Amino acid sequence: MAKHQHDTSANDLWMYFQNVINWVKTVFPNYRKYMKGLPWGIYYNRHKDEHYNSDELEARVAELEMDDDVTNNKGIYAYLLTGEEKHLNIRTFNEKDKLRKYNEQEGVCAKCGNHFAYTDMDGDHILPWSKGGKTEYDNLQMLCISCNRSNL
């Protein structure tokens, strides 16, 4: 906005605004109230040249809305555009289940096999959430922080 504050006409800014709105309506044709306030201009700038199937995206939005592990519906759009799960605030395992699993594993990391204090371990999905794994006890394993945060 500051860049255009001295323009004699707001036409360029208005056209950009219209392009963003039209892109959003094309990619995500069904309006939902939590779409309000998202940084659509940023999404448009980064993803406007990508080709999306709006029917597939709409089906995925509906599916993610119903997923109990997704705790941030506003993040669904950023997730679908970027693939980054962090936008969904996926529900984490509760402390009671993590402590119980830690004791079952006798403090041993399920990946590297070394022993760690409870505070040096994380609860991890055995079958990743992105591949259909749920945040439930049978899909929980305790990993040391290093193993859990590595991409190996």
**How high is the mean pLDDT of the chain?**
91
Best CA proximity match to 77, nearest among 52, 102, 103, 96: 52
Give the other-Cβ count within 10 Å of 13's Cβ.
13
At residue 68, the pLDDT reads: 84
State whether 24 and 82 are in the same domain: yes
Using 70 as the pLDDT threshold, list the residues of the chain that sit under it: 1-2, 4-5, 151-152
d(CA 80, CA 71): 15
State whether 57 and 127 are in the same domain: no
d(CA 132, CA 67): 10
At residue 140, the pLDDT reads: 96
Best CA proximity match to 91, nearest among 122, 68, 75: 68
How many structural domains is the chain composed of? 2
State whether 73 and 103 are in the same domain: no
Query: Is residue 106 helix, strand or coil?
Result: coil
Assess contact for 30 and 61: CB atoms under 8 A.
yes
State whether 99 and 84 are in the same domain: no
State whether 106 and 73 are in the same domain: no
At residue 69, the pLDDT reads: 84
At residue 150, the pLDDT reads: 82
At residue 1, the pLDDT reads: 58
Range of the domain at 8: 2-88
What pTM value is reported for the model?
A: 0.67
